[in-house]
Amino acid sequence: MNIVTDEISTSMAAGSWIRKMFEKGRELKNTFGEDAVCDFSLGNPDVPPPFAAKAALEEIASNAVKPLGLGYCPNAGIPYVREAMAAYLSRQQQTSVDASHVIMSVGAAGAMVSFFRAVIEKDDEVLVSAPYFVEYGFYCGHFGGKLRAIPALTPDFTPDVEALAKAINPKTRVLLINSPNNPTGCIYSEEVLKKIAALVDAENERREREGGRPLFLLSDEPYRIFAFDGCTVPPILPLTKWSCVLGSFSKSISLAGERVGYFLVNPAMPGAETLISALILTTRTLGSVNAPVIGQRLAAALLDETVDLSVYDSRRRLMAKVLSSAGIEFPMPKGAFYFFAKSPVEDEMKFVDALLEEKILVVTGKGFGFPGYIRLSCSVDEKIIARAENGFKRAVERVLA
Amino acid sequence: MNIVTDEISTSMAAGSWIRKMFEKGRELKNTFGEDAVCDFSLGNPDVPPPFAAKAALEEIASNAVKPLGLGYCPNAGIPYVREAMAAYLSRQQQTSVDASHVIMSVGAAGAMVSFFRAVIEKDDEVLVSAPYFVEYGFYCGHFGGKLRAIPALTPDFTPDVEALAKAINPKTRVLLINSPNNPTGCIYSEEVLKKIAALVDAENERREREGGRPLFLLSDEPYRIFAFDGCTVPPILPLTKWSCVLGSFSKSISLAGERVGYFLVNPAMPGAETLISALILTTRTLGSVNAPVIGQRLAAALLDETVDLSVYDSRRRLMAKVLSSAGIEFPMPKGAFYFFAKSPVEDEMKFVDALLEEKILVVTGKGFGFPGYIRLSCSVDEKIIARAENGFKRAVERVLA
């Protein structure tokens, strides 16, 4: 008898190669020891949370044992946390927003799922530039949405705005961007963002005239503070009234496991209040009810703090050196903490296998809708990056031989 | 232009009378002061968390600021927490389960939504005894499921097993029970549970012979420890291999805002491993990724603790006295912390309005799929219960006049 739905069965089968990779990695670690394996496959931020997290948690502890000390908060979040977020996001987005435009969520992922539930009808399309974070497809797929990926321009992975424009059709409900980007580390320039925003505005003007539902520009920004070489991440809210922003504290203060994120609706959006009400409903009924209250308080207490970004920057420089010395090509990532590097051979699975033989774990480009590449995470100690140098060299030599 | 989907628009409109009630309540509080209003409408557990929560949080604080101190954990939960839960649930369910059968979730609600995503196809039915927690309809509705409610037997709200049996059809995917029950406080007897389990077994035997997907018996148990007058809540796992249990720490240790729950799959269920894999996938992709790690650690540290149940018991006795003295009929709740009382007039909205005039807030039976009744929460101080006595009396007199 079918214990689960056909769709979920298919999803489980589709994910099996990731699991196989993961199991191979675990096998290697079990056989040779944790330290012998260079694992660049994980996105679990390993730089410690800011030191102030300890005092903030102690403060939370001292207020926990009282009536409603850890009780439900309003579905949209703790009021003072939303206020603090509004001030923070007003600065960040160079746009005045207030608490009513911010909804606290179970991580950025929870925010995105709540949004898709509110706006996606069956067979609606979510347009994204490839490579992209593969979970996006699941997030919209829960509600019958379809992810449609348009290959980015190589070598630097800037979105192909003309191709995106051509792909827009009446079923396109969301244009989803992610800068700094996972997996490429690309930061979209203000010029590119303006073009994308203009595209969304033009389409919505047409829909207002000719009928149709709005096309949203959704900006997924969990890596916003990870910008290096003096780069900045331009705000999206000033560029189009049809924009929404979401993010989290998973990376910025290494709070990934506690699941705290936020969703921000552009106050200038026609129907913003309706969208916000809908998001409060879907946040409640998708089971979150409200974002975890300890995490919300912790995030609010650490709003002006970040992890030590110089650690990531230094790893980034070292990884660039190591990959270059092995003759591996990549665009230098200006943001996030990933490298998306070109496989020396077209079928990157061969390269991934060769790296496995060197006890180096990476993720295939296929896992991000962009074959021929590999993704490497810098969420590992510099010692491991340095140690992998010869393994990279040998793997490249072997696949090219 | 339609900013949100038609389905979500409809849901928002359907919930508007609850919002109206809520706003009326807030208006009363603003006009007459928080203390002048007797608010029995809320289910936010107000008894403080166990005192040990403070030390447990301090311990968590002392380990937070290190690599991965608050990082992602496996999607199914922190391994040691799952181990502790397995031992705890083995005792509670009188069935040996191990960590692999337990998945930590974003509250009981998150667990139920993940389960429905894994098993519900469009137009599948979830069968439940009315009155029932109204959010159930949303939880299965996200994936095209339909809640079908069968009125319980009055006056004590025992499920009508014969009527449930008649309602089962090939589209029935889940039989959902909730004991101790919200809103009635009813604890299902072992005799009734055995009949329900037998019904599920018989149906599954037929489906195994004649084709069809399994019918699950899902037991929602967030109020399990709230059992009074020497009552116990019989375990469900020994009764049928097709059972699953879910629960949370929201009420038992007043951790509602931190969102920690669990889902337990019966190890004897055919296909249990597939269901567990599917639940791990849906927990991940519905945005939870993993249950909040601070909450998981806190729950594990307090596994042998509960809030002071005598506070709830004492309130229950006082509420019974107050309602009785006003001539309001109700079955004495043996569990949870609610009263589901009969309106003195058929249209309970008239009674609810009369109570509002007395500055008493309650929820209509309609809100639980069972008109003609009102729900009262004992998550309030005894002073408030006592103070409401004359208001109840006057409201009853007025609607009967």
- Chain-chain contact of B117 with A8 (C-beta, under 8 angstroms): yes
Q: What are phi and psi of B185, to 5 degrees?
A: 75, 5
Q: What are phi and psi of B263, to 5 degrees?
A: -130, 135
- Residue B342 in contact with partner chain A when CB distance is under 8 A: no
* Confidence (pLDDT) at B13: 86
> What is the tens place of the pLDDT at every residue in A252-267?
999 999 999 999 999 9
- Residue A12 in contact with partner chain B when CB distance is under 8 A: yes
Closest C-alpha to B115, from B329, B301, B261, B317: B261
Could you tell me which residues come within 8 angstroms of residue A304 by beta carbon, excluding any fewer than 6 positions away?
Answer: none
Q: A328 vs chain B: nearest CA distance in angstroms? A: 29
- Chain-chain contact of A287 with B47 (C-beta, under 8 angstroms): no
Per CB-CB distance under 8 Å, the chain A contacts of B51 are 65
> What is the tens place of the pLDDT at every residue in B19-43?
777 778 888 988 998 888 999 998 8
Q: Quick one: pLDDT band at residue A16, thresholds 50, 70, 90?
A: low
Mean pLDDT of the region A181-193: 98
Run of H or E residues at B371: none
Run of H or E residues at B178: strand B172-178
pLDDT, chain A, mean: 96
pLDDT digits (tens), chain B, 401 positions = 799 999 999 999 887 666 777 778 888 988 998 888 999 998 889 999 999 999 999 999 999 999 999 999 999 999 999 999 999 999 999 999 999 999 999 999 999 999 999 999 999 999 999 999 999 999 999 999 999 999 999 999 999 999 999 999 999 999 999 999 999 999 999 999 999 999 999 999 999 999 999 999 999 999 999 999 999 999 999 999 999 999 999 999 999 999 999 999 999 999 999 999 999 999 999 988 999 999 999 999 999 999 999 999 999 999 999 999 999 999 999 999 999 999 999 999 999 999 999 999 999 999 999 999 999 999 999 999 999 999 999 999 999 99
- Residue B401 in contact with partner chain A when CB distance is under 8 A: no
Residues found in chain A: 401
Of A8, A281, A284, the CB nearest to B282: A8
For helices B293-301 and B52-62, what crossing angle results, to 10°? 130
With 0-12 / 13-18 / 19 or more C-beta atoms within 10 angstroms meaning exposed / middle / buried, residue A35 is exposed
Distance from C-alpha of B271 to C-alpha of B274, rounded to nearest angstrom: 5
- Chain-chain contact of B58 with A60 (C-beta, under 8 angstroms): no
- Chain-chain contact of A58 with B58 (C-beta, under 8 angstroms): yes
With 0-12 / 13-18 / 19 or more C-beta atoms within 10 angstroms meaning exposed / middle / buried, residue B129 is buried
- Residue A222 in contact with partner chain B when CB distance is under 8 A: no
Which chain B residue is nearest to residue A52, measuring alpha carbons?
B65
- Residue B318 in contact with partner chain A when CB distance is under 8 A: no
Mutate to test the interface with B, among A1, A283, A337 (most CBs of B within 10 A): A1
Look at the alpha carbons of A165, A171, A173, A174 in this order and tell me if their dihedral is positive or negative.
negative
- Chain-chain contact of A120 with B49 (C-beta, under 8 angstroms): no
> What is the tens place of the pLDDT at every residue in A227-256?
999 999 999 999 999 999 999 999 999 999
Ordered structural domains, chain A, with CATH: 6-49+307-400 (3.90.1150.10), 53-301 (3.40.640.10)
Per CB-CB distance under 8 Å, the chain B contacts of A54 are 61-62, 64-65
Radius of gyration of chain B (CA): 22
Which chain B residue is nearest to residue A269, measuring alpha carbons?
B3
Of A53, A73, A293, the CB nearest to B65: A53
With 0-12 / 13-18 / 19 or more C-beta atoms within 10 angstroms meaning exposed / middle / buried, residue A226 is buried
